Structure 1
Amino acid sequence: MDLGLTNRTAIICASSHGLGRACATALARAGCTVILNGRDSAALEETAAALRNDGATVRTIAGDVGDERVQTALIDVADGQVDILVNNNGGPPLRDFRALDGDAIHAGVDANMVTPIRLVQKVIDGMIDRRFGRIVCITSGSVKAPVPGLDLSSGARIGLTGFLAGVARQVAHANVTINFLLPGLFDTRRLAGVHAFNAEKNGVSVEEAAAAALDRIPARRFGEPTEFGDACAFLCAASSGFITGQSLLIDGGAYPGVL
């Protein structure tokens, strides 16, 4: 399927591993020039090399996307023309909410709410002027169904969703969309941390915690990053301009509600 993204430029934050890398891969295959970002320079360059071997045009900016200098560098390397922004950032470590002090709370909100908002502010006017823009924010399935231990992550991402849902309605007239992807349990490095947290909390082995998590998913498997990346690319497609302000939950049916 041609997504109409040939020669578009996409910034994908935190894209050296996991779901961010999957989104970058899908967008590169759709014809985008992809600008990758990550704190681990070696992993970032390995990802870039893999995409270049597939024929993609790739640029990289190493560093914490919460750093204003990194944000500026991402936009500068795109020559100021950002067609697609995929907001992504690592979530805070799983922990009991009682263990969160003020510094930890502020750090979590800054990483998972303030930073993506600042990036949107930097790119949105150019998108409006060019009459094309796609912004996808990777949040979490815990936005719809809060998970113990992810309280800070859930709160920050819910705040981001509420903030940008209003912005989405202000820019839709210019063919600029803002949507949210809510991953459930995907086979990434983050999943190992989830299993370890639940194992310690419930006094079971990591293997038992993983089996219990799997049992709660009707699809009877964990998600593959590639299918998440494909969903991201679809929301960025030229033909997806009538989808905006939406939260797409991808969790294998684990969420039990109808809305």
Structure 2
Amino acid sequence: MDLGLRGRNAIVCASSAGLGRACALELARAGCILVINGRDEASLEGAAEDIRKETGATVHAVAGDISMREVQDALIAAVQSVDILVNNNGGPPFRDFRTVDREALLAGVVGNMATPIELVQKVIDGMVERQFGRIVNITSASVKMPLSGLDLSSGARAGLTGFLAGVARSVAHANVTINFLLPGAFDTRRLRSGHQVKAENLGLAAEAVANQSREAIPAKRFGDPSEFGAACAFLCSAQAGYFTGQSLLIDGGVYSGIL
């Protein structure tokens, strides 16, 4: 399926690994000119080279923390205009809410709410002017199913969803869409590290914890990042102009609600 994205400029934040990298790869396959980002310059350059070799795409790598204004500006300056923005950032670690002090609270809100909003502010008017824009925000299944220990992540990402819900309706007339992808358990380094921490706390083998987690999913498996990347690429496609303000949960059937 031709997604109608050849030659479009796409920024994918936090994309040197995991779900962000999967999204970047699929957009490169669709013909986009990419700007990818990560904090570790060596890992980022390695990801950029891998994507270039696999797809032949033009890939610009901008290293740094996207909560910093100068990094945001460098991302946007890497291409002439921004047609696609994929907001992504690592979430706060598991912790009891009683241990979340003010500094940690503000850092979580900056990383998972304020920063993506700032990036949207920087690109949206140009998208409206050009009558094309796709913004995809990677949040979390915990927005719909809050989990104890992920309270800060859930709250900040839910805040982002609520903030941008009205914005999405205000620009839909200009073929600019804003949507949200909510990942469940995907086979990424973050998931595996979480299993390792839980295993150590319980005195179990990491594989035993992974098996328990897997069995709790109706699909009986973890998601493949490539599946997530394909969903992201479709929401960015020319054919997805009638999707906006939506939260697409991809969790193998864990969430049992109908809304």
Conserved? CA contact 1:180–1:248, under 8 Å? yes
- 3-state SS of paired residue (2:248): strand
- Equivalent residue, structure 2, for 1:226: 226
SS in 2 for 1:160: helix
The correspondence of residues 148-163 of structure 1 with structure 2, limited to 5 A, is 148-163=148-163
Q: Could you say which residue in structure 2 is the equivalent of 1:239?
A: 239
Count of aligned pairs between the two proteins:
258
Q: Mind listing any 5+ residue stretches in structure 2 that lack a counterpart?
A: none
Alignment-derived partner of residue 72 in structure 1: 73
For residues 118 and 133 of structure 1, the distance between their equivalents in structure 2, rounded to whole angstroms, comes to 16
1:169-225 deviation digits (Å, cap 9, x = unpaired): 000000000000000000111102321343355554322221111111111110000
Query: Against the structure 1 CA distance between its residues 20 and 228, is the aligned structure 2 distance closer, same or farther, given a 3 Å change threshold?
Result: same
Distance in 2, Cα, partners of 1:254 & 1:199: 22
Q: Report the 3-state secondary structure (helix = DSSP H, G, I; strand = E; otherwise coil) of the residue aligned with 2:75.
A: helix
Residue of structure 2 in register with 1:191 after alignment: 191
Hey, what's the Cα distance between the residues in 1 that align with 2:34 and 2:149? 33
Shift of 1:98: 1.3
| TM-score (normalizing by structure 2) | 0.97
Measured on the aligned residues, the alpha-carbon RMSD in Å equals 1.1
1:43-54 alignment runs, 5 A limit: 43-53=43-53, 54=55
Structure 1 position 93, deviation (Å): 1.1
1:138-149 residue pairs with structure 2 within 5 A? 138-149=138-149
Deviation at 1:9, TM superposition (A): 0.2
Q: How far apart, CA to CA, are the structure 2 residues paired with 1:121 and 1:193?
A: 34
1:95-110 to 2 correspondence within 5 Å? 95-110=95-110
Paired residue secondary structure (2:76): helix
Q: Is the 8 A contact 1:164 1:178 kept in 2?
A: yes
- Report whether the alignment pairs 1:126 with 2:126: yes
In the alignment, does 2:52 pair up with 1:55?
Answer: no
Are positions 1:11 and 2:18 aligned together? no
Q: Which moved more, 1:98-107 or 1:193-202?
A: 193-202
Q: Please report how far the alpha carbon of residue 78 of structure 1 lies from its aligned counterpart in structure 2 after TM superposition.
A: 1.2
Report deviation, 1:96: 1.2
State the distance in 2 between where 1:86 and 1:126 align: 16
Q: Which runs of 4+ in 1 moved over 6 A?
A: none
- Amino acid aligned to 1:174: A
Residue 14 of structure 1 aligns to a residue whose secondary structure is: coil
How far off its partner does 1:239 sit? 1.0
Give the SS at the match of 2:104.
helix
The within-5 A match list for 1:209-220 is 209-220=209-220
Q: Distance in 1 between matches of 2:132 and 2:20?
A: 22
Alignment check: 8 A CA contact 1:94 1:197 kept: no
SS of residue paired to 2:3: coil
2:135 — aligned with what? 135
**Matches of 1:39 and 1:228 in 2, distance apart?**
22
Q: 1:134 to 1:184 in 2, by over 3 A?
A: same
CA distance in 2, matches of 1:190, 1:98: 23
Determine the C-alpha separation between the residues in 2 that align with 1:97 and 1:204.
Answer: 25
Q: TM-score, normalised by structure 1?
A: 0.97
- Percent identical: 66
